[in-house]
Amino acid sequence: MVQNSTVVLFSTLVLMSLPVLSDDATPVTELERPSSRSMHKGQQTKQAIVQAAVTLSTQVGLEGLSIGSLAELMHMSKSGVFAHFGSREELQISVIREYFASFEQEVFYPAMKAPQGLPRVRALFDNWMKRVAVEIQSGCIFISGAVEFDDRPGPVREALASSVQTWLQALYRAVVLAKQCGHLTQEADEQQVAFEIHALILALHYEARFLKNPGSLARANRGFADIVARYGVPGAAEISV
């Protein structure tokens, strides 16, 4: 079973029996505690800001994202937006995390319901293609971000690279399982197969979004069929359906 290496569940230990203390070690009264309702509202506001920032980033890129433009979009003050993140860099990283979480929900997790082997690889590719069909109009943060931050070391580049590497590693593991299931020939190079699938998606973005070439989606699907034909065992095309 392919394990998602990016989803880590943290257990939080809450010491309910200990009083909450202020700086002078005086117990804080219930009236002084932040209400769960206000904390929940703050979380909802932050999530709404992040989602709006994701939409804006697909249009202007991560580098074009600013506290000011987001505040205007959300009808909030700059200080109100800033209070939720503390810096533009943290906002950009939050956008990357949200974008990747959405990618997982749309592409990765549904594909895990498919049987191991080529059916799962096919499901990953099909789900990826469905997302790309939307991104042709809206843009892809991973692709635009790679252009913006490819030679700019720092936390934002690290967050982008980590997200893409995690996804490609999941694709690679699916290909490895396909070979272990006997759906690919023994001579098939798993890394090469995963590389070629990724290359199809990148070419599709360039051809469809930038060059506006008609038939790009059909060509990408044909490219995947060619990969299966080259590296799959006899009858692999039927297995992958």
Domain annotation covers residue 60: no
* Domain assignment of residue 137, yes or no: yes
Are 80 and 68 in contact by the 8 Å Cβ rule? The answer is no
In a domain, 172, yes or no: yes
Whether residue 21 lies inside any domain: the answer is: no
Binned at pLDDT 50, 70 and 90, residue 241 comes out as: low
Domain interval for residue 218? 95-240
pLDDT of 35: 56
Has residue 7 got a pLDDT over 80? no
pTM of the model: 0.78
Specify if 225 maps to a domain: yes
Q: Is residue 34 part of a domain?
A: no
Query: Residue 39 falls within a domain, yes or no?
Result: no
Burial class (CB in 10 A: 0-12, 13-18, 19+), 194: buried
In order of 94, 125, 132, 211, the CA distances from 203 in angstroms are 27, 14, 11, 10
The CATH number given to whatever domain includes residue 213 is 1.10.357.10
> What pLDDT does residue 36 have?
62
| Residue 101, CB-side half-sphere exposure with 13 Å CA sphere | 12
Residues above pLDDT 70, as percent of the chain: 83
| Residue bearing tokens 């030679």 | 151
Q: Which amino acid is at 117?
A: G
Q: Quick one: pLDDT band at residue 32, thresholds 50, 70, 90?
A: very low
Q: 42-89 pLDDT, tens per residue? A: 788 899 999 999 999 988 999 999 888 889 989 999 888 889 988 999
CA distance linking residue 2 with residue 207, whole number of Å:
31
Q: What is the pLDDT, as a whole number, of residue 39? A: 58
Distance CA 171, CA 9 (A): 22
Instruction: State pLDDT tens for residues 118-155.
Output: 999 999 999 999 999 888 888 899 999 999 999 999 99
Greatest CA span in the chain, whole angstroms?
A: 75
Tell whether 116 is covered by a domain.
yes
CA distance linking residue 38 with residue 145, whole number of Å: 34
Number of compact structural domains in the chain? 1
